[in-house]
Chains A and B, each alone.
Chain A
Amino acid sequence: RKEVEQDPGPFNVPEGATVAFNCTYSNSASQSFFWYRQDCRKEPKLLMSVYSSGNEDGRFTAQLNRASQYISLLIRDSKLSDSATYLCVVNLPNTNAGKSTFGDGTTLTVKP
């Protein structure tokens, strides 16, 4: 079983749609959680951190459920520019060198 698992997709949605991505992690000691966005042939860029209380940034909402070891990302009112691969990233505590484990990514294509 992979340490971080994501639905690879691809998700093909029309503009304006709402889309949700899920991610599960296996290490209960995981400390911090992030969603990154990666465009083709580019480096990952931080989209948002994920907190148990949930956090929202414009059209993006992230949620963490520690009990279920589950992270989600919700995108509302999808734009063409949202097309990218979304990476779920889980950090171990600094006692484990604070290493990050990446999911394989979920590919989103938003169509006109």
Chain B
Amino acid sequence: GAVVSQHPSRVICKSGTSVKIECRSLDFQATTMFWYRQFPKQSLMLMATSNEGSKATYEQGVEKDKFLINHASLTLSTLTVTSAHPEDSSFYICSARPGTGPDTQYFGPGTRLTVL
């Protein structure tokens, strides 16, 4: 149990395009999902907390107009990187926390974004 999927796993796009990443909890309902970014040889950095049915809470320094988050259901959250630039190239990972039980997070497999 506690499986989280993420799609796509890899994206290569031109500068200026927008990229949408989906995060799904497959066998549980997730009231809270988190979006992280990880640069090479660094730890995960929390970008935003996504709560079903409400606006996401962004961490300091993360532009909410650039990284659009939608948590439309208890099993799906999306992150859209708008007008992507090469400096946005990174490993984006989502995690989901079940609505009941321990506050363990389960991570998706990540999306590797390369902006040319």
Contact = CB atoms under 8 A, between A and B. Distances in A.
Answer yes or no: are A and B bound together in one complex. yes
Contacts of A49: 102, 104
A43 B107 contact: yes
Interface residues of B, number: 21
Interface residues of A, number: 23
A32 interface: yes
A108 to B, nearest CB: 15
A33 B71 CA distance: 26
Interface of B: 32, 34, 42-44, 46, 49, 57, 91, 93, 97, 102-110, 112
Contact of A98 (B32, B44, B106): B32
A22 B1 CA distance: 29
A103 B42 CA distance: 10
Nearest to B49: A97
Contacts of A45: 107
B14 to A, nearest CB: 23
Interface of A: 31-32, 34, 41-46, 49, 87, 89, 91, 94, 97-105
A46 B57 CA distance: 24
B43 A100 contact: no
**Which of B103, B107, B109 counts the most A-chain CB atoms under 10 A from its CB?**
B103
Q: Which 6 A-B pairs have the closest CB atoms?
A: A43-B107, A104-B43, A43-B110, A102-B43, A102-B44, A43-B109
Nearest to A87: B43
A94 to B, nearest CB: 7
Contact of B46 (A41, A100, A105): A100
A46 B104 CA distance: 8
Contacts of A43: 93, 107-110
Given A87-B43, A87-B44, A102-B43, 9 more contacts: A34-B104, A41-B112, A44-B93, A91-B103, A97-B32, A97-B49, A99-B46, A100-B46, A103-B43
